[in-house]
Amino acid sequence: MTKVGAIASIESLPHGSLLLRKSAEKAVLAPALAAYEAFVKAVSALEIKDDASVIQLVGAFNAYRRAAIPIFEAGKNVPQENLRSTMMEELYAWLFKDIFELLEIDQPLNFKLGKSTSSYVSLTFAPHNFASIFNDPNPRIAKKDQDFAIGATFQLTIQPEGGESPIKSGILIPIVAIECKTYLAKNHLDMCASTAASIKTAAPYCMYVVSAEFIKMDKGVFPELTDISEIFVLCRAKNGDRKKRRDAGLPPHDIHADLICDLFNRVIGHLRSIWWDPDSALKSGRVIQRPF
């Protein structure tokens, strides 16, 4: 299996590596692999363009989750753990695979979908000394990791005027960023709030979403004071409930399809909007038009 819509290749997905695993892990992972193959087969055939197809996708994903999570959560600090924490990253890659067909735009060469390690935050300069600044201004190109991003990639070049040795760095300008947490606790929220603030300074039209399956927070937190566009609690449950079910050998909570539909529609609405354009501002009577 290779490319599906905007997905570079199935092997590049968080759970695509299941298809490549052999030997020692195979026995433990076999039921998860079988469930993943069934999931991939089902959703590769879908065109994700409306609520009905999103609901089908979430249904197939919940089936995969029910088979795989008990296996992924059985061990600690083993490769399976990493697979557990990337469940949602896997879903989002499938959720947005058909955006170019839906928006009727050709997919550009510098389009990127998936995990990002180079989301642009800021460019500053800390030269070593006067003599060296002219050839090497020591740029600090700050970048953030993101669990899932939709964005455009660029090469940033800083070239001394009249000189010959440019400094180059690849950056992603995120349009949608999704931070994925199995459960959201206060310290995670603080980190997400800090990332949201720096991302929105650099790219104010980036939609920044926190996707949590569960939450573990009390009244002493203030998500409304952050730059986070929305926090979804996809299982509509507390982390304590997750553990109770797990310890009782019960199947995990399902992801609620209506929340994924809402996220999908908000993202598509964002991708269809005009963000910043003085002429449109005159027509619409609104200048800033923030994502939401």
Judged by the rule CB under 8 A, the positions of this chain that interact with its own copies are 103, 105, 108-111, 120, 122-131, 133-135, 137-138, 152-163, 166, 170, 173, 175, 201-205, 270-277
Q: Identify which of residues 43 and 178 has a Cβ nearer to its own copies in the complex.
A: 178
Shortest spacing between CB 132 and its own copies, in angstroms: 9
Task: For residue 13, give the amino acid letter.
Answer: L
Q: How far apart are CA 78 and CA 76, in angstroms?
A: 5
Nearest distance from C-beta of residue 124 to its own copies, angstroms: 5
The minimum distance between CB 141 and its own copies, in angstroms, equals 9
Which residues lie closer than 8 Å to 267 by C-beta, 6 or more apart?
A: 96, 150, 176, 207
CB of 100 to its own copies, least distance (A): 10
Residue 50 beta carbon to its own copies: minimum distance, rounded to whole angstroms: 19
Nearest one of 87, 113, 91 to 100, comparing CA atoms: 113
Would strands 167-185 and 207-216 be described as parallel, antiparallel, or unpaired? parallel
CA torsion sign, 19 to 23 to 25 to 30?
positive
Nearer to its own copies, 155 or 265 (CB): 155
111 vs 236, beta carbon nearer its own copies = 111
Q: Which residues contact 155 (CB under 8 A, 6 or more apart)?
A: 168, 169, 170, 171
Nearest-approach distance from CB 133 to its own copies, in angstroms: 5
**In the bound complex, what is the minimum distance in angstroms from residue 197's beta carbon to its own copies?**
13
Q: Which is nearer to its own copies, 26 or 168 (CB)?
A: 168
* Cβ pair 119, 146 in contact under 8 A: yes
In the complex, least distance from residue 36 CB atom to its own copies, rounded to whole angstroms: 31
Encoded tokens for 142: 């700050």
| Pair of tokens at residue 171 | 């950056």
What the block records as the tokens of 288 is 């800033």
At 271, phi and psi to the nearest 5?
-70, -20
Residues 180/149, Cβ–Cβ less than 8 Å? no
Residue number, 28 or 152, with CB nearest to its own copies? 152
Residue corresponding to tokens 């050839």 = 135
Structure tokens at 152: 């455009």
Q: β-pairing, 230-238 with 207-216?
A: parallel
Strand, coil or helix: 41:
helix
Nearer to its own copies, 134 or 250 (CB): 134
